[in-house]
Amino acid sequence: MTVPRLVVAAPSSNAGKTSVATGLIAALTARGLAVSPHKVGPDYIDPGYHGLAAGRPGRNLDPWLVGEDRIAPLFLRGALHPRPADVAVIEGVMGLFDGATRPSVEPGFASTAHVAGLLRAPVVLVVDASSQARSVAALVHGFATFDPGVRLGGVVLNRVGTDRHEAILREALGAAGVPVLGAVRRMEELHTPARHLGLIPAAERSDAALATVRRLGEVVAAAVDLDAVLALARSAPPLDARRWDPSAEVAATQTRPRIAVAGGPAFTFGYAENTELLEAAGAEVVVVDPLRDEALPPGTAGLVVGGGFPEVHAAELSANEPLRADMAALAARGAPVAAECAGLLYLARELDGLPMCGVLDVATAMSPRLTLGYRAAEAVTDSVLAPAGARVRGHEFHRTHADPPAGTDGAWRWSGSAHGPRPTQIEGFVAGSVHASYLHLHWAGSPQLAQRLVTACARRSESVRAHR
């Protein structure tokens, strides 16, 4: 199956690849093309900007979370659903060859280069040229020759100062044999606001985010040879894979339970495939915004509260007492509840001293330390999400802490870190029908999680109807 595609990478983080990738998506969409946006790695924030630019969900491609064999099928799911795309743009993560640093995995695993190889996609390298001239040729030459399995198809120079600076860079790169596809000037007005976990999600910036995306598209359209970019994308060979189908991963329940999923500006972290798996398993998914909605949808049989920034919206979340009480009552009735990271904070007794839902007797607060990294975890306790002993792969990404960090019945255990062995850690809470943890999970890598949760919700719905 042939889908024109390319990967936007960089020698390191902070080179501007998110701005260039988002601008490419916006510029190609403005040409009338259907663009499928993707992001290498577990990051939730960049796909939000990609989705704004493309008008369809940005999807993640992470071999650690879902396995190497699912990368091409998941890519095809995004590229062909809800309608076939004319071109796909895949933004990389960190530097081109930077991958998982756990001792148990091979160097470069889950890197941008790894995913580019799995997708047989050409790479466009975004180079921050602000502090270099002829040295750019040595840099690009090194990236072009470091791994013969990576096809570097072109360079976009970013943060170029003047016409003279651009001429020097182009002349130097002429001898490197890698085409210069464009040169973007320094433009501070396109700076995207950031805070403790990176860029502010697009959903929180609303009109401002739309304006930024539109302007990025205009800048890239003026500075980059889009025809050359499309020609490079169309040079990608066919993929020998079938698109991922959520209905082939799970079996639909006979009962159609209604599952509320937290959304809105405070809960913006989620993978599109998680919801698709819930629906394929038979659930009716309804989004609830804890900042605005004062009650769960009628007939709610289960609840999923994913990641986001409740710490930024803590006062507003706390002020919405009716919904907090409704969520606590739902959990008290035994309805299945699955929460991760931000969801754990919201279900806690308090967040930074402000009352939350009180489903869990735990206090949470901001922390000066960033917790970030991949985890290979094992379920400690039978829950609505996983049986004890089930193994999953996930990631942590937070600047908060919970006191205590685990309940009497913990959710997950894992050992080891990016920097070497460490004692086994038990984390999270299983309390009745509630499963809450800091661990983020991509359910396409473990579809049985969605199956088990929906089945538990279906049983709950049947039980409630039987006792009416």
Q: Which amino acids are annotated catalytic?
A: 341
How far is it, in rounded angstroms, from Cα 108 to Cα 92? 13
Burial (CB count <10 Å: 0-12, 13-18, 19+), residue 369:
exposed
Could you tell me how far CA 53 lies from the centroid of its own chain? Answer: 16
Sheet strands (E) in 41-80 = 59-61
CB atoms within 10 A of CB 275: 22
Q: Is 176 helix (H, G, I), strand (E, B) or coil?
A: coil
Helices 71-80 and 272-280 cross at an angle (nearest 10°) of 90
How far is it, in rounded angstroms, from Cα 296 to Cα 259? 10
| Cα angle 462, 463, 466; round to 5 | 85
Six token digits for residue 188: 């501070």
Alpha-helical (H) ranges within 160-239 are: 163-174, 202-205, 207-223, 226-234
Q: Is 54 helix (H, G, I), strand (E, B) or coil?
A: helix
